[in-house]
Chains A and B, each alone.
Chain A
């Protein structure tokens, strides 16, 4: 895969012995239901296709280059100017931990940090972020090495379906550095930009308070 690695794209996890939920689902999309009956190792051989998909190349009309520092790694991609930061992260850089909910800045599922501040990545064009430092959920912790906020969400069961969770956690991590009163009500006010359709709010607040109290 090294030879095929595009500048600025994430390296995929090793394919054999570790198949992520996403790569597995993606494979289903490529090969169809038949793939479910085949050994995973065989299915995984087709995986490199995923990194090549949806990455606009220099040949795309009107594409412009943008350099971002994403989770500590310098990356340069060619994007259509219409590409939002959210779509750039998900489609061009395959960082799919950041979710698209409403795509209009109303739900908070797309929350990431830009230069250390939380923003709605759906309401920003990627090209506006030349030179900016972007942190996504993939950048704050990994399985086996969770950020304290991720661990607290697990402890407190701060989710049900999980779709809003990465946005909730990115918002909550940013909140730790913002002026915020001690009460649950203060946390609720500052987390109001993150909607949880399952209604896990009490547990989300408990998770955030757990981290703040232990800090």
Chain B
């Protein structure tokens, strides 16, 4: 690991000012915020991240979960994954989020990882994590080793000829299905970004993963007020029963009335270069009967544009079955 200057931010504006000294807040940032540290330290030990300055934001007052008067849920960026998963409002109104969080990582890591940090979790693509190999995300222009290499766990949706790395987060998939809003404090003030617009497709700039600019600090995430009659489910399929990244996962937030889908939101994990919202699946479900044949049609629609690589063709069928099963679970006792 390279040397760096360590400082502790006393307030949000101090953190923003420190972050603004960086030329980028994406791959290769000279200034990094550290909260849980679970991604940053890992990548710094691998020399994939080499910040000259690390700003500790753990003392900032962003560690609360609050119900807002209008019914929305406001989640501080420093709320730990384990606390968020066990929050009573999350468990009762946003079950998909609690389930997604508890399916991720280990109990120890969930005690460390934060809401803001998990939004910025980096891919587990082995070529990104190894400085020995070419990777356009880590070293723009160097090429993608994964396309003709080990790509069994990598993405089949949203890929480009530059990058096929998967977004590894479970939380992000649930937040996408819940249509979360990301609140960012930057040098020009505060702004809100819909989660759908927060993550970028790799295209030919895979080193740019989000809309975050130098000085930007995620302060909160808000969730829309829960809708009565909504049921939500997160289903994760993986190589091991626990403590493993998703090969495919599905987040379903469904409002069913009179045996029909009134409103449904679908997001998938383990298959996309970003947390994958499937408008196609939603369209195939809304207004339709709650019926296994409809589920399969929606799953087919969700994977219609899938582009499997040499080793991950199985993910197309796996993702379809995952979504079909998640829809079954979400509508079982509705």
Note all chain A residues with C-beta closer than 8 A to B4: 81-82
A56 within 8 A of B: no
For chain B, what secondary structure do more than half of its interface residues adopt (helix, strand, loop), or is it mixed? mixed
Note all chain B residues with C-beta closer than 8 A to A171: 107-108
A24 within 8 A of B: no
Note all chain A residues with C-beta closer than 8 A to B42: 104-105, 123
Which of A33-41, A143-151, A172-180 lies at the binding interface? A172-180
Q: Which residues of chain B from 176 to 227 have any CB-CB distance to chain A below 8 Å in the complex?
A: none
Residue of A nearest to B242 (CB): A192
What's the Cα separation between A123 and B111 when bound, in Å? 12
Contact between B107 and A123 (Cβ–Cβ < 8 Å)? no
Contact between B34 and A120 (Cβ–Cβ < 8 Å)? no
What's the Cα separation between A130 and B241 when bound, in Å? 37
Q: Which residues of chain A from 126 to 181 have any CB-CB distance to chain B below 8 Å in the complex?
A: 127-128, 130, 171, 174-175, 178-179
B60 within 8 A of A: no
What's the Cα separation between A191 and B41 when bound, in Å? 23
Note all chain B residues with C-beta closer than 8 A to A122: 41
Which of A15-23, A70-78, A111-119, A205-213 lies at the binding interface? A111-119
What's the Cα separation between A130 and B109 when bound, in Å? 20
Contact between A105 and B38 (Cβ–Cβ < 8 Å)? yes
**How many interface contacts (CB-CB < 8 Å) are there between A and B?**
85
Pick from A80, A111, A118, A125: contact of B41, CB below 8 A: A125
Q: How far is the CB of A63 from chain B (nearest CB, A)?
A: 11
A47 within 8 A of B: no
Contact between B242 and A123 (Cβ–Cβ < 8 Å)? no
Q: How far is the CB of B254 from chain A (nearest CB, A)?
A: 26
Contact between A174 and B107 (Cβ–Cβ < 8 Å)? yes
Give 1 or 0 for each of B240-274: 1 = CB within 8 Å of chain A CB.
Answer: 01110000000000000000000000000000000
What's the Cα separation between A191 and B241 when bound, in Å? 12
Contact between A190 and B107 (Cβ–Cβ < 8 Å)? yes
Known contacts A189-B242, A192-B243; A120/B108 CB under 8 A: yes
A203 within 8 A of B: no
Contact between A81 and B243 (Cβ–Cβ < 8 Å)? no
Given contacts A82-B1, A125-B54, A193-B106, 20 further A-B contacts (CB under 8 A): A80-B3, A103-B45, A105-B41, A108-B108, A118-B107, A119-B108, A119-B111, A120-B106, A120-B108, A123-B37, A123-B38, A123-B42, A124-B37, A124-B41, A125-B56, A128-B56, A171-B107, A179-B86, A189-B242, A194-B106
